[in-house]
Structure 1
Amino acid sequence: MTNRLGTRIFRLFSLLLILISQANAKPQTLRFAINSPGSAPYIYYDEVSGNYQGVIVDFFDRLEEDGHFKIEYFESERARSEQLLFRGFADMFLSSPRWVNQPENYFFSLALMPHRSFMYATKPYSQPFNPSKNKGALICTRNSYIYPVLQPFFDNNTLLRVDSSTQTTMALMLAKERCDFAIMSDHNAKAIMTTAKFCNSEFYQSPNAISAVDVLFVIRKELHKVKKQIDERLKIFIDSGERDKSVQRHVGARIFPKRLCSEV
């Protein structure tokens, strides 16, 4: 009887120690590299609140609720982010396996959301965009970004690449006719081209998507347990409809063609 009582006390004491240990455990810090300056609806800096906003932030807010993780955001650029991850200076960034130079070096989460790229112009399209039928066209692109579908045409000079540091600058270049087309995801284009800055500009979206990929979290190879927890949370975030609500909140239902403000 005494032995049984001692065993129960020991088990209760051990359980108490475990609970205390878990309660006092500090959340694991995860460093997320932002492709500066970010872009809606994924992640962007909100001047009013002084904080980062976007679908990524909404998801990580949910992830932090469990108390196991704390997310730190810092600005980088796409080409640099992969190197930072490989060297252990970053833990995650948003991308696609098709855009990563050495995908075998990393883990990839479940898909966060689809990313469809279109060609944008200041004049209506009479037919789907065909790279081979637009020889010599100037294409506004984002510096250091990889465009697998267009790359062969850039390589043989059928299309000419004009790099900009941000998607907003790309849209400005297009509006000023310094390039013939701009390639951008539909979400980015909606968030940027429909702002007051472009009130006096018209933009048209190509009838066809140039490419479609899933964007997801690229995760440092050492963080296999973190990947599992992120995947579990992502499934809940998507299946519950929170992801779609987040996209609408950060982009809205604005569609193309984008007309002059006076015509809206």
Structure 2
Amino acid sequence: MRWALGALLGISLSVSASDPPLRFAVADSWAMPMVQFERGRPTQGILIDMMLSLATQVGVPAEFHVLPRTRVQNAMEHGEVDVRCYAAQSWQPNQSGDYIWSIPLFFQRDVLISRHGETPKVDPAELPRQSIGTVLGYIYPTLQPLFDAGQLQREDARNQNQVLEKLLAGRYRYAVSNQWTLDWFNQRLMPGQQLQGVAVLQEQNVGCYVRNDPKVPVQRILRTLLRMKMSGEIDEIIRLYTGSTEANP
């Protein structure tokens, strides 16, 4: 995997220095298998591999801007970044600015999780008053009415991995994670320690959106993403990290 990433980096760096870079927003709340950070810089993962390949095929260098989740949309609106991936229109209903969305590229499943040995199936609406592990700035539509009513309280962590570490340490009984990150996290744990999904909260397709600016090769980006999805390239990147490609429902 690192060889493939290195090859993509080499190709990307070989692009003419006169070409303006394609600036990607990278949320610092992401975790593997989406993104791995080393000393605050993204080094590999499904999204990084996809972004590098996209920039290479478009013919421009890739530039990654690591931002807090709550700053990403503001950076898009102010022209600090050009492309945001792994997003859904429902996550920003009041989105301001001129953007064009790609076709759906990924399938995300959000699950309520607990430590091993807890009740295997749970109805969130029936949980007694307690804190739930969440990521700062993330929206959880299924749980929001319960947060609004005070039945459940958010306990935010900076990133998804911290949420899982806190759950494992017993800081709370339940937390929210996407399925990919949960599976990746469990790989390092013994079967009796692994965290378990107890309820599916939401399933949806996510993609990328591009700032509609004459300085950005918008149509080339969208055509390339379409080609990468239709050719199976994106699904192959997913398979390399997760061992499978989950078909959209």
TM range (shorter): 0.7 to 0.9
In 2, the alpha carbon distance for the partners of 1:58 and 1:36 equals 16
In 1, the alpha carbon distance for the partners of 2:139 and 2:31 equals 16
Q: 1:220 aligns with which of 198, 208, 211?
A: 211
- Structure 2 residue runs without a partner (length 5+): 1-14, 245-249
Are 2:234 and 1:229 equivalent residues in the alignment?
A: no
Are 2:242 and 1:251 equivalent residues in the alignment?
A: yes
How far residue 51 of structure 1 moved from its aligned partner, in angstroms, is 5.5
- Tell me which moved more, 219-228 or 162-171: 219-228
Q: 2:22 aligns with which of 30, 55, 65?
A: 30
Q: 2:34 aligns with which of 35, 39, 42?
A: 42
* 8 Å CA contact 2:26, 2:67 repeated in 1: yes
TM-score by length of 1: 0.75
Q: 1:183 aligns with which of 176, 185, 192?
A: 176
Counterpart AA for 2:238: V
- Structure 1 residue runs without a partner (length 5+): 1-22, 254-264
* 8 Å CA contact 2:58, 2:220 repeated in 1: no
2:147 aligned partner: 154
* 8 Å CA contact 1:40, 1:251 repeated in 2: no
Q: 1:165 aligns with which of 141, 158, 161?
A: 158
Post-superposition CA distance 1:115-166 (Å, at most 9, x none): 1101111145656432211121321000111111111111111112111112
In 1, the alpha carbon distance for the partners of 2:52 and 2:223 equals 14
Post-superposition CA distance 1:22-43 (Å, at most 9, x none): x979333121111115322322
How far residue 57 of structure 1 moved from its aligned partner, in angstroms, is 2.4
Q: 1:129 aligns with which of 122, 135, 158?
A: 122
Which of the two has higher C-alpha Rg? 1
| Paired positions, count | 227
Are 2:90 and 1:98 equivalent residues in the alignment?
A: yes
- State the secondary structure of the residue aligned to 1:179: coil
2:68 aligned partner: 77
Larger % of helix: which? 1
Q: 1:223 to 1:172 in 2, by over 3 A?
A: farther
In 2, the alpha carbon distance for the partners of 1:236 and 1:211 equals 27
Q: 1:140 to 1:24 in 2, by over 3 A?
A: closer
How far residue 104 of structure 1 moved from its aligned partner, in angstroms, is 5.0
In 1, the alpha carbon distance for the partners of 2:59 and 2:227 equals 17
In 2, the alpha carbon distance for the partners of 1:157 and 1:235 equals 43
Q: 1:136 to 1:81 in 2, by over 3 A?
A: same
TM-score by length of 2: 0.79
In 1, the alpha carbon distance for the partners of 2:195 and 2:160 equals 14
Post-superposition CA distance 1:18-67 (Å, at most 9, x none): xxxxx9793331211111153223222258xx852122222233323346
Q: 1:64 aligns with which of 51, 55, 60?
A: 55
1:12 aligned partner: none
- State the secondary structure of the residue aligned to 1:210: strand
What percentage of residue pairs aligned between the two structures are identical? 21
Q: 1:25 to 1:174 in 2, by over 3 A?
A: closer
